[in-house]
Amino acid sequence: MAKDLFSTLDLNLLRTFLIVHQEKNTRKAAERLFVTQPAVSQALQKLRHHFGDDLFVKVHGGLQPTHFSEQLANELAPHMDGISNAVNSSYGFDPKEIDYPIKIALSPVVLACLSGSLYKNITQQAPNCKLELASWTTSSAEEIQKGDVLLGIAYQVPYISKEVYAQKLVDIEGRLFVRQEHPLKQAKVTPQDLAGYEIASLVTPGWNDSFSQASQILEAQSVPHRVAFRSEMLLAIIDVLLNSDMYMPHSNLFPIHNYPNLRAIDVDVEDEIKMVGVYSHIHIKNRNNPLLTWLNNVVQDALKEQLNK
């Protein structure tokens, strides 16, 4: 059985070998490797012992590789170049080179407000990517863990796995939306002004499945109220608003300019009550992934652009 020379070899020595083979001089090789000349000579000695070959012999003006050394260098060079390219490419990122599927799960609050701008911004920079924008569900965090979803955008989800890393992108401000002819005519109301009007609550799976934040605020201030309608589908809620005196708690992220039959109402409560963060959710292994860094920046820019409209 042939001796296995690879399993007991220090691979760092091979890089030294190739540099010496290129330079034919241990001093010049040491300068390129940022080590001392004795360190290069010591590495060569280890390789000579390992391979049972002189590798290089001294000649006038430098070193001459042996036949085995020439053969080894010719075999190693393309593989070492491949390793170099693999290592260096992991630090380089160009969205234009993306030609694979990207699946992003967006909460209902974000999905209906940013789908168009996100699609435009992402595909402009990554024209060959296969983008899928899905709705955030109760299983989205698990899908991130499994790698089925690359990125999730939602409120900060409680009781989430430590494998899912959440990072705040923006804070959004709570706001109410009603039909244009709604009896509430003020541009800004107090919680007490809402007494007697029913709530149409937008559900974000995994965040407010069993409660309404607006209902909690009104409950704390002893304001009579009732959640009369709940849905994950924004269009369903809008249809209900247009046919009732209900109001929808949403945020300044809502693209009111797209819905001329609706109008916004601000609520006079403390900022800490009406402000909520929107977070990106990724697998913790991807915290330093340049693709995710780029996607986070694109989403964050789109959120900020919408908030500033």
CATH of the domain at 28: 1.10.10.10
Q: What pLDDT does 257 receive?
A: 92
Q: What pLDDT does 1 receive?
A: 43
pTM: 0.71
The Cα angle at residue 201 between residues 198 and 203, in degrees rounded to 5: 165
- 271: exposed, middle or buried (Cβ count in 10 Å: 0-12, 13-18, 19+): exposed
Same domain membership, residue 200 and residue 64:
no
Q: Amino acid letter at 283?
A: H
Residue 226 lies in a domain: yes
Residue 2 lies in a domain: no
Same domain membership, residue 142 and residue 285:
yes
Residue 40 lies in a domain: yes
Same domain membership, residue 244 and residue 190:
yes
Taking the C-alpha atoms of residue 147 and residue 169, their distance in angstroms, rounded to an integer, is: 21
Residues of the chain with pLDDT under 50: 1
Taking the C-alpha atoms of residue 121 and residue 104, their distance in angstroms, rounded to an integer, is: 14
Contact (Cβ atoms closer than 8 angstroms) between residue 106 and residue 114 = yes
Residue 287 lies in a domain: yes
Domain of 62? Answer: 11-88
Residue 3 lies in a domain: no
Looking at the structure of the chain, the number of domains it has is 3
Taking the C-alpha atoms of residue 35 and residue 28, their distance in angstroms, rounded to an integer, is: 10
**CATH number for 107:** 3.40.190.10
Same domain membership, residue 260 and residue 115:
no
Residue 5 lies in a domain: no
Q: What pLDDT does 2 receive?
A: 53
Taking the C-alpha atoms of residue 212 and residue 194, their distance in angstroms, rounded to an integer, is: 15
